[in-house]
Structure 1
Amino acid sequence: MSNFDGLEVLNLLEELEDIIENSSSIPLSNKVLINKEEVLDLIRQIRIKLPDEFKRAEWIKQERQRILLEAQQEAEMIIKEAEQKIKEMVSESEIVKKAEKTAAEIISTAQANAKEIRLGSREYADELLAKIESQVSEILETIKRNREELKGNK
């Protein structure tokens, strides 16, 4: 985890609030004119200060899709290999019966393995996202408390 400095992030957020609150308002609306580059620069600074978990959340989302796709491809390959083995084993009556039984077991195992791989990758992604969600909630609670304290000190 990176060196997360919540105070620096709060200061940057306060600076962003000040820019918005002190910007010229557009008459008859709740809208204000802001310096786009100044606000974007503050947002970039905040993003740099955020923990790596925030940055990994997007990667996890993309990685989850890749893992699921790989699991499906692996399952299809296992099933194709099982079907190929069935074709190779078919020749005589006794061999055919044994081949059908073995093939059914291989397909069943392949399907179970594929399901296990898919479930495992989903659980892994879900665990990571739950951890990040928890950390984000804690950070948001800290920010809310600090803002409330600041409002109380005015």
Structure 2
Amino acid sequence: MTSPGAPGSSGPFEQHHIDADTLLRRVVEIISNAKSMPLSNSVIISKDEVLELLEDAVGRLPDELRQARWMLKEREEFLAKVEREADEILDAARIRAERMVQRTEIVREAHHVAGRTVEHARDEARRLRLEAEDYCDQKLAAFEIVLERTMKTVQAGREKLAATPLPSADAELGLAGMVAAGPGTDMGPGADDAFFDQDRT
């Protein structure tokens, strides 16, 4: 029979910082190594040693349970923290994706508006160019009409001038003499008629 104080034994008082699991394993070891009684399955063990180990283990169980509960709580808090961080990461990624989509839509809409603006400007420039061409064509046509009329008037004046006969030498001499005689000079009867008749010849 093994006594608690026997040499080579490891009593429960030798170590104070032993968990309940270690103490229970010691009990199992003591029972396994105990001497069997002849013709029986019973073994010879130290009752006091085994009871002391069991009582020590039972006394340590509340601490073990508290530590287990604390570890379980820490585990739950850690998992909750990890889950919160994962949710925050997912939310941030979702927000970034939405912003990227919004920026893409804004850029696409800006390109669309710019394209429509450029097309409208081209149409407006085309319309103004056509209006300017029509205006210039109308002005040139009106100027052409005025120029044609002016040319006709000039041509008619030239033709009339060409058809008017030049005064004769006698008429020119008579006119010169009348001018030399001065006012009041009597040029005889019919002198005025002779002077003005030169336009009718």
* Same-fold status (TM-score > 0.5): no
Normalized per residue, which structure has more helix?
1
Q: Which has the higher contact order (CA 8 A, sep 6+)?
A: 1
TM-score of the superposed pair, with normalisation by structure 1:
0.39
